[in-house]
A and B are shown apart, each in its own frame.
Chain A
Amino acid sequence: MKQSFILGQYIPRDSFIHRLDPRTKIISLILFVITMFVIDRLFIYSLLYGFVLGCVLLSTIPITYLIKGLKPVWWLVVITFIFHVLFQRDGEALFDVFGFIIYDQGFIQGGEIASRLLLMIVMATLLTLTTPPLAITDAMRWFLAPLTRLGLPINELAIMMAISLRLIPTMTEEMDKISKAQAARGLDYTRGRLRDRLKALLPLLIPLFISAFKRAEALAMAMEARGYQGADHRTSYRQIAFRTMDYIIVCLMTTATVSIYLMTG
């Protein structure tokens, strides 16, 4: 079940993309998304397809893995495309399918929007596949750091994120244990009407919440015992460092985005 959808997972490798600073990757992703929304020429789409394909190859993550992992997304892309083809009313009428008049603009716009969706999702997936969640947290903390001056608890948020990430496997394991324990007591939440199934989830969720609260209390005590006094005035063990390659990538991405914008604008 876990393997079927890969958005948000991390695959440790030692590739060029993996080695980039998480901030570089996030900036590049944002620039890429901006580019997606300014372009209106077909040949630039093919450039972007090439770019995404290049990134995937550089990341050494098998393309088949991406294709399999993004299965639900394919449907979304295909449906978006078909929807546009059927309901677009601009341009020249091409032919008639069961009373729907198909226009050439339908293909073009459908293709554009489906491509945007597809490329964006692949790039975002590539970010999480090649960057440990903790590194993304660190990068977000760096981006949001100026907001601490406005009194927003960015450092606290970063610690909360890190602890949540650390507890995901623990809680998954716990959920598994509880569901087995309840199954042993005759609970079945896989059959019956939707309402019954939702009702049967309660005996799973309540113990999970109770144990989560207990765990939180114990963890808070352990943190306090180890000298935690709030997230400010701490030093940091983990470091994210901009290397030469990161500067180059950010410059290249910015230049590319600006020139594409000027070309189309």
Chain B
Amino acid sequence: MIELEQVSFRYQNEASHVFENLNLTIEQGEWVAIVGRNGSGKSTLAKLLNGLCLATSGVVRVNHTVITSESKHQVRTQIGMVFQNPENQFVGTTVADDVAFGLENLAVPRDTMIKRIDQSLEQVDMTAYKNHEPSRLSGGQKQRVALASVLAMQPEVIVLDEATSMLDPIGKEQVLSIIQELHEQLDVTVIMVTHDLNEAALADRVITLNEGTVWFDGKPREFLEKGDQLHEVGLEPPFVTKVYQQLSRQSITVTQEPLHYEELVDELWRLYLKT
């Protein structure tokens, strides 16, 4: 469980706060998408969760441990993080070495390490690339390795800081489907920072940040219902939402607001069959 209590944060040498008095609770096993425009503080929020940034005031708690400069190392064993640029988080010379890096840091014995590396590469379907060098992998494959590196450390929470934003559509889809699978199988908490609302619609809960405050916190469907209001916080409603809203404007009602293409297509067929 992650709790933020009255958290304020300000970067050094900068006058304005990124957050002021932010309160937030994320339960174990939730899948949360954090969305917002550039500069809304969503990446900073992610960094507050594992002590890469420390709150200027207020308290961030992970499983009842308050994050301080002393406790942050311990917290990092529970929170794994995947960053945006696949190239800038690949530490090892080969895939296996990279997955090993985190385990070496935790001083995991070598026998256990070997088992965990195999297991986590299996989970992200990268076993065949175990001895490959990063220069021979695509962006999507590198992100899957980054995910494996995090999984090998067996965290309770996985934070993805725009982890798919530099990937091509296929790579993106593969990474997302792996995350979906992991979330279902392992009951890990997934916190996904993104500006892709299609991606956010996959989550159980959407938190929208705007100018350092929580603008929205709730189910993705309710979030997308806001439609044109999303422009106010610098977000572009996805195509599916736009179609839905055009339909409602024409007084054509469907059973529920579609979240993604599949649901939209279902609704459209239902309409077609009715008429």
* A residues neighboring B (CB under 8 Å): 133-134, 162-163, 165-166, 169-170, 173, 215, 218-219, 221-229, 233-239
Contacts and interface: CB of A to CB of B under 8 A. Distances in A.
A215 B88 contact: yes
B107 interface: yes
Given A166-B93, A218-B85, 17 more contacts: A166-B134, A169-B133, A218-B88, A218-B89, A223-B91, A229-B73, A229-B105, A234-B107, A235-B104, A235-B108, A236-B110, A237-B96, A237-B97, A237-B100, A237-B103, A237-B104, A237-B110
Given A166-B134, A169-B133, A226-B149, A235 B103 contact: yes
Given A235-B113, A238-B97, A219 B88 contact: yes
B117 interface: yes
A222 B89 contact: yes
B78 to A, nearest CB: 10
A179 B87 CA distance: 20
A219 B83 CA distance: 10
A165 B97 CA distance: 13
Contacts of B87: 170, 215
A48 to B, nearest CB: 34
11 contacts: A133-B93, A166-B93, A218-B85, A219-B91, A221-B83, A226-B91, A226-B101, A226-B105, A228-B101, A233-B107, A234-B107
A227 B106 contact: yes
B153 A221 contact: no
Contacts of B52: 221, 224-225
A213 to B, nearest CB: 12
Interface of B: 50, 52, 73, 76-77, 80-81, 83, 85, 87-93, 96-97, 100-110, 113-114, 117, 133-135, 149-150, 153
A133 B93 CA distance: 10
Contacts of A227: 73, 76-77, 102, 105-106, 153
B81 A225 contact: yes
Nearest to A234: B104
A162 B91 CA distance: 9
B89 A219 contact: yes
A228 B98 CA distance: 13
Contact of A162 (B93, B106, B107, B135): B93
A70 B10 CA distance: 57
A24 B92 CA distance: 25
Contacts of A169: 133-135
A215 to B, nearest CB: 5
A150 to B, nearest CB: 24
A134 to B, nearest CB: 5
B102 A226 contact: yes
A225 B146 CA distance: 12
Q: Which 9 A-B pairs have the closest CB atoms?
A: A237-B100, A222-B89, A218-B88, A227-B105, A169-B135, A226-B102, A225-B81, A234-B104, A166-B93
Given A226-B101, A235-B103, A237-B97, A166 B92 contact: yes
A259 B200 CA distance: 74
A233 B107 CA distance: 7
B45 to A, nearest CB: 15
A227 B153 CA distance: 10
Nearest to B96: A237
Contacts of A237: 96-97, 100, 103-104, 110, 113-114, 117
B153 A226 contact: yes
A131 B68 CA distance: 44
A170 B106 contact: no
A134 B106 contact: no
